[in-house]
Structure 1
Amino acid sequence: MFNFDVERFLKIQNGAASQKDAIDKALDEIEGKGGFKNLFLIGSGGAGILMMPAEYIMKTHSTLPVYREAAADFLAMNHKHFGPDSLVVMASLSGTTSETIEAAKFVKEKGAATISFVGHGDKPLAQATDYTFVNFAEDDTSCESFFMQFYLLIARIMNKRGEFPQYEAFANSIAKLPEGLLKVKEQVEDRAKAWADKHKDTPYHLLVGSGTSWGETFYYAMCILEEMQWIKTKAVSANDFFHGTLELVEKGVSVILFKGEDETRPMMERVERFAVQYTDELTVFDSKEFELPGVDAEFRGWFSPIVFATLLERVSAHLEHVRNHPLTTRRYYRRIQY
């Protein structure tokens, strides 16, 4: 595969999957100290967006109240459901995101239990929370790493509440996922190159996702195509597509659909039926097309965004090459004061 280190990828993703025991222990300790009555998922930018699938799964499988908030919003809003009996989970790949660090200090002062997921253990966020899970990753590997760790956390939370008896089977599937994701990359490699070659000069894309896959859809539009490639995008959920965005679809407009395998798949099929009639630039990525050996079929809907993240990395690798625009290039982000 082009510009890809297999050993590095597997080391990072297996590292994420191996956090299970440490996550179990942390939650046991928090429970021993009185537990919590609600769950807050807090991050900034991409790290916060990547918490969306975990939020969705909690809402569809658990009665525990869950609130996903951007760190800056959380600090400004005086959230009435937050208190010392909340569990606050935070994430930042760099561990240096200022708004998230400020939020961590704030919630800790209020007496809430805190957990962070970071890529570096010596950074401020890692030092600001009660429990810190460190798994080195970089932009090209962080999505899968974060998704797997977030999933292990919420699955164990639900398991301890009697809402997810399949926890051990789920954790076993997580452990098998890295090798399966490698096969996804291999399977999509030629298609990713062809797509990048075709769309290297496309100025604008509409991206549509739903359910567990909506967060990855939003993330790829904003954090990769916009931030890292300076390509204009519109990300819209399938449930909103027919309430405005459909009017932008016409011949020549690039529309990218992410068809997952959860209960919202019919929404994506509806968008596909519409889009295929009105644009000649329709791309459909369907997680169902990819085998995940050893992964329990009942969890595939949860894993769809991870499949999309891993195949989109292949798209990005080819896109930066054919556009001569490295994914690390920035004009403003962490380059100037703002």
Structure 2
Amino acid sequence: MYFDQTDFLNNYQAAVDELDHVDQILSELRQKKFKNIFFTGCGGSYTKFVDLRPMMFKKLPIPFMIAAPDELVKMYDAEVTEDSLIVAGTKTGETTELVAALEQIKKEKPQCTIISFIGDENSHLEKTRVVDYRIKSIDTDANLLELGWFISNFTQEASLSQLKMQKSQLAEMGAKVAAGIADLVPATLNHVNNTDITKMQMWVGSGTVWGEVCCFANYLLEEIQHIKAQAINSGEFFHGPFELIDNNQPVSVVVNSNANRKEDLRVVDFVTKFAKDPLIVDVKEFDLAEFDEDLRTYVEAYALNHYFDTMFKMYAVKTGKSAKTRRYYRLLDY
């Protein structure tokens, strides 16, 4: 089974349940006077921060930066002060460069505040005690439901009635997302089965799902499946990459539902004319238009993340490769 709706919905509800804990943390953070915020992580967590960058500009009242751990301690060391908030994301809590960076920051600026979304229990990062607040990131690195809620409610606490309404909407959205992914499975499986994995794939997207497009191309297809892939922002598609499009170039387009939708649809119009059987994934297929706009911003990214996980399982069957068949990752010193 490529997509287990029951398992998905259980994890989804667990993430919604964790929002009460996020609210408690936010209540404490609002008592502090932060001067800036840094979001840091590697791989999938980094791209999830990128997903919500437009929301950060809209909701955060102070300067913020998304930086890799090494960049954070070497390039922005002067900007990280005891009045900074560091938000880190990690699935395992074992990523060497992230743990080392947070330890160094806490040693040099002990009064700064560090929050981490950690997926696994009893991680090395949590045991180091450099993290002031830990959010249980259900089965992932930076759970988009929790991260989106954190950013959206960072500035001020909404009324109890509004919070209750939004949490109720979030719970309802889970069933919509599950049904949407299940509906996409047959066409997606047909696409995967008919894809020549020796050819480089082009993945195009933008907006609040851009991070997920990058994550799938870079970390799931290339890193684990060893399938060459390139993520192209739809705003850059007509500045070079479109010249590669023909019947021999595999191309897929993710269409977002918000401000950059027209640019994505412009790409769709082009590739449907000149490419052979392009895969088009429209996040509107998750049928979330009736819900609060802020909630849709991160739930659509969450939905795409799990859709890509489902496609990844299909490719794993096709290639025989999984996270256990890597060439170098945690096998060599590098």
Query: What's the TM-score, normalizing by structure 2?
Result: 0.90
Letter in 1 for 2:136: V
Alpha-carbon distance in structure 1 between the residues aligned to 2:55 and 2:30: 21
Query: Kindly, what percent of the aligned residue pairs are identical?
Result: 25
Once the two structures are TM-superposed, the CA of residue 74 in structure 1 deviates from its matched residue by: 1.4
Alpha-carbon distance in structure 2 between the residues aligned to 1:158 and 1:31: 7
Q: Any residues of structure 2 matched to 1:110-189 within 5 Å, and which?
A: 110=109, 111-127=111-127, 128-137=130-139, 142=140, 146-160=143-157, 169-189=165-185
2:260 corresponds to = 264
Letter in 2 for 1:156: N
Consecutive unaligned residues in structure 1, runs of 5 or more: none
Q: 1:298 to 1:84 in 2, by over 3 A?
A: closer
Q: 1:44 to 1:18 in 2, by over 3 A?
A: same
Alpha-carbon distance in structure 1 between the residues aligned to 2:33 and 2:162: 22
Q: Any residues of structure 2 matched to 1:194-273 within 5 Å, and which?
A: 194-199=190-195, 201-273=197-269
2:12 corresponds to = 13
Q: Secondary structure at the match of 2:34?
A: coil
Alpha-carbon distance in structure 2 between the residues aligned to 1:247 and 1:273: 15
Alpha-carbon distance in structure 2 between the residues aligned to 1:157 and 1:44: 23
Consecutive unaligned residues in structure 2, runs of 5 or more: none
Is the 1:205–1:253 Cα contact (8 Å) retained in structure 2? yes
The alignment status of 1:102 with 2:100, answered yes or no, reads yes
Alpha-carbon distance in structure 2 between the residues aligned to 1:337 and 1:19: 37
Is the 1:192–1:315 Cα contact (8 Å) retained in structure 2? yes
Q: Secondary structure at the match of 1:182?
A: helix
Once the two structures are TM-superposed, the CA of residue 5 in structure 1 deviates from its matched residue by: 3.9
Which deviations, in whole Å up to 9, do the C-alpha atoms of 1:175-227 show, x marking residues without a partner?
33332222122111211211111115352111111110100000000111011
Alpha-carbon distance in structure 2 between the residues aligned to 1:298 and 1:72: 31
Alpha-carbon distance in structure 1 between the residues aligned to 2:332 and 2:5: 35
Q: 1:212 to 1:169 in 2, by over 3 A?
A: farther
Letter in 1 for 2:168: N
Q: 1:166 to 1:250 in 2, by over 3 A?
A: farther
Q: 1:263 to 1:295 in 2, by over 3 A?
A: same
Q: Secondary structure at the match of 1:90?
A: strand
| Structure 1 stretch displaced more, 199-208 or 280-289 | 199-208
Once the two structures are TM-superposed, the CA of residue 84 in structure 1 deviates from its matched residue by: 1.4
Once the two structures are TM-superposed, the CA of residue 299 in structure 1 deviates from its matched residue by: 3.8
Is the 1:216–1:309 Cα contact (8 Å) retained in structure 2? yes
Q: Secondary structure at the match of 1:199?
A: coil
Alpha-carbon distance in structure 2 between the residues aligned to 1:278 and 1:35: 54
Is the 2:59–2:154 Cα contact (8 Å) retained in structure 1? no
Alpha-carbon distance in structure 1 between the residues aligned to 2:289 and 2:264: 25
1:25 corresponds to = 24
Is the 2:60–2:154 Cα contact (8 Å) retained in structure 1? no
Q: Secondary structure at the match of 1:117?
A: strand
Once the two structures are TM-superposed, the CA of residue 293 in structure 1 deviates from its matched residue by: 9.2
Is the 2:252–2:278 Cα contact (8 Å) retained in structure 1? yes
Alpha-carbon distance in structure 2 between the residues aligned to 1:263 and 1:253: 28
Query: What's the TM-score, normalizing by structure 1?
Result: 0.89
Q: Any residues of structure 2 matched to 1:39-118 within 5 Å, and which?
A: 39-109=37-107, 110=109, 111-118=111-118
CA-based RMSD: 2.4
Alpha-carbon distance in structure 1 between the residues aligned to 2:185 and 2:207: 26
